Amino acid sequence: MTDPGLSAIMSERRQLINLAYRLLGSLADAEDVVQETYARWYAMTPADQQAIDNPAAWLTRVASRICLDQLRSARARRERYVGEWIPEPLPESTEWHSGQGGADPADRVTLDESVNMAFLVVLDSMTPAERVAFILHDVFRYPFAEVAEIVGRTPAACRQLASSARRRIDAAQSPTPPSARRAELVREFKAAWEATDIQALVSILDPDITAVADGGGIVPAMLEPVRGTDQVAQYFSKLTLVLHGRKILERTVNGQPGLVVQFEGVTETVFAFGFTGERISNIWAVRNPEKLHPWTS
Q: For 81-116, what is each residue's pLDDT tens digit? A: 999 999 999 998 655 333 334 445 556 677 778 899
Geometric angle at alpha carbon 255, from 107 and 79, rounded to 5°: 85
From 155-159, 171-175, 192-196, the region with the lowest mean pLDDT: 171-175
Give the number of other CB atoms < 10 A from CB of residue 242.
Answer: 12
Average pLDDT, the chain: 90
CATH code, 187: 3.10.450.50
Spatial separation of the C-alpha atoms in residues 8 and 124, rounded to whole Å: 32
231 and 95 assigned to the same domain: no
Q: Are 130 and 38 in contact (CB under 8 A)?
A: no
Q: What share of the chain is helix, strand, coil (3-state, %, to 5)?
A: 55, 15, 30
Across the range 158-173, mean pLDDT stands at 95
Question: Domain end: 123, 147, 172, which one?
Answer: 172
What gap in Å lies between CA 178 and CA 168, rounded to an integer?
23
Spatial neighbors of 116 by CB under 8 A, at least 6 apart, are 254, 255, 256, 272
pLDDT, one tens digit per residue, over 5-38 is 667 677 899 999 999 999 999 999 999 999 999 9
Q: Please report the pLDDT score of residue 2 as a whole number.
A: 43
- Dihedral sign, Cα of residue 50, residue 54, residue 56, residue 60: negative
Choose among 31, 21, 88: nearest CA to 287.
88
Question: How many CB atoms sit inside 10 A of residue 271's CB?
Answer: 25
Question: What average pLDDT score do residues 260-272 get?
Answer: 95
Number of alpha helices (DSSP H) and beta strands (DSSP E) in the chain: 12, 6
Question: H helices within 135-211, ranges in order?
Answer: 144-151, 155-172, 179-194, 198-204
Percent of the chain scoring above 90 in pLDDT: 79
Q: Are 29 and 166 in the same domain?
A: yes
Question: What is the predicted pLDDT for the residue at 1?
Answer: 38
For residue range 239-264, list pLDDT tens digits in order: 876 788 899 999 999 999 999 999 99
Mean pLDDT confidence for 176-195: 94
**pLDDT higher than 70, residue 154:** yes
Question: Which domain does 205 fall in, by range?
Answer: 179-295
Do 159 and 193 lie in a common domain?
no
**pLDDT tens for each residue of 54-76:** 999 999 999 999 999 999 998 77
Q: How many domains does the chain have?
A: 2
